[in-house]
Amino acid sequence: MRQFIVYLFSKEVFCLEDSAIVALYWQRQETALSKTQEKYGRRLYGTAQNILRDDEDSKECVNDALFKAWQAIPPSRPELLGAFLVKITRNLAINRWKAKRADKRGGDEVDLLLSELQDCIPAAGGVEDMLNAAAVTEIINEYLQSLEQTARVIFVLRYFHGESLGDISRRFQMNENNVKSILFRARKKLKAQLEKEEVIV
Kindly report whether the global pTM for this prediction surpasses the value 0.85.
no
Closest listed residue to residue 141, CA positions, set 77, 79, 91, 98: 79
Amino acid at 131: L
pLDDT, one tens digit per residue, over 156-185 is 888 888 888 888 999 999 999 999 999 999
Average pLDDT over residues 1-26: 60
Q: What is the pLDDT of residues 71-104, one digit of tens each?
A: 999 998 988 898 899 889 988 988 888 777 765 5
Query: How confident is the model at residue 175, as a pLDDT?
Result: 92
Other residues' Cβ atoms within 10 Å of the Cβ of residue 175: 10
Per-residue model confidence (pLDDT) at position 118: 63
What does the pLDDT look like over 51-70, one tens digit per residue?
Answer: 888 899 999 999 999 999 99
Could you report the per-residue pLDDT of 131-141, keeping only the tens digit for each?
Answer: 545 566 677 77
Cα 123 off chain centre by: 18
The reported pLDDT for the residue numbered 195 is 76
The pair phi, psi for residue 27, each rounded to 5°, is -85, 0
**Predicted confidence band of residue 196 (pLDDT cuts 50, 70, 90):** confident
Q: Which domains does the chain have, with CATH numbers?
A: 11-105 (1.10.1740.10), 107-201 (1.10.10.10)
Sign for the pseudo-dihedral over CA of 179, 180, 181, 182: positive
Q: Count CB-CB contacts under 10 A for residue 125.
A: 9
Q: Is omega for the bond preceding 122 within 30 degrees of 0, making it cis? A: no
Buried b vs exposed e over 57-94: b needs ≥16 C-beta within 10 Å? bbbbbbebbbeebeeebeeeebbbbbbbbbbbbbebbb
Over residues 14-56, the pLDDT tens digits come to 444 888 999 999 999 999 999 999 999 999 999 898 888 889 9
The pLDDT value given to residue 63: 94
Q: Could you give the CA distance from residue 145 to residue 140 in angstroms, rounded to a whole number?
A: 8
Residue 175 half-sphere exposure toward CB, CA atoms < 13 A: 3
